[in-house]
Amino acid sequence: MDDHNKYANIILEMDKEDQDARKIFASGPNNPERYNEIVAPVDRKNENMILEIMDVVGWPVISKFGEIASYSFWRLVQHAKIDIKRRALELMEKNMEDINKKNYAMLKDRVLLIDKKPQIYGTQLGLNPETNKPELLPVENMDKVDELRASVGLGPLSEYLASFNQN
């Protein structure tokens, strides 16, 4: 079995464990102690393998790993520490022709916000504590956001935001 198949299978197993832990957590009380007991250990365990995969194969590109494994790896990176997110983002940027650009946009925005900078693609929302409704987090250039979103295959920001306000 070559590295691509081996790591694709590992990624899919890791993603299943990641999602199972989150489903278990979501089915009960939402508190930090329970999160630290159920979800955090899975995330920390996965981080070591994420680093190994990035060391050995770089970013799991679609042409070699398939869309599902590439997406699953991106989803795992979302739950990793910021230094891993930054490294993953660099690897994605080196492989833009062979990744899901929507996933890139979401990770880029997330990293920018963690770094206390405005997002580019308008993919990240936060919960307004006063209204208890989702709201768009700061965007660098609202005049160009739809053009930038289109460049990575995302629809207009107005449609994205409307999808959160259907309640």
How far, in Å, are 125, 160, 163 from residue 166 at the CA level?
15, 11, 6
- Residue 71 host element (H or E): helix 62-78
Which residue type, as a one-letter code, is found at position 38? I
Task: Name the residue ranges covered by the structural domains of the chain.
Answer: 3-99, 125-162
- Strands 134-136 and 125-127, by their bridges, are antiparallel
**pTM over the 0.85 mark:** yes
Tell me the per-residue pLDDT of 60-95, one tens digit each, with 9 for 90 and over.
999 999 999 999 999 999 999 999 999 999 999 999
What does the pLDDT read at residue 56?
A: 94
Q: Is 13 helix (H, G, I), strand (E, B) or coil?
A: helix
Residue 128, CA atoms < 13 Å, CB-side half-sphere: 10
Tally of residues, the chain: 167
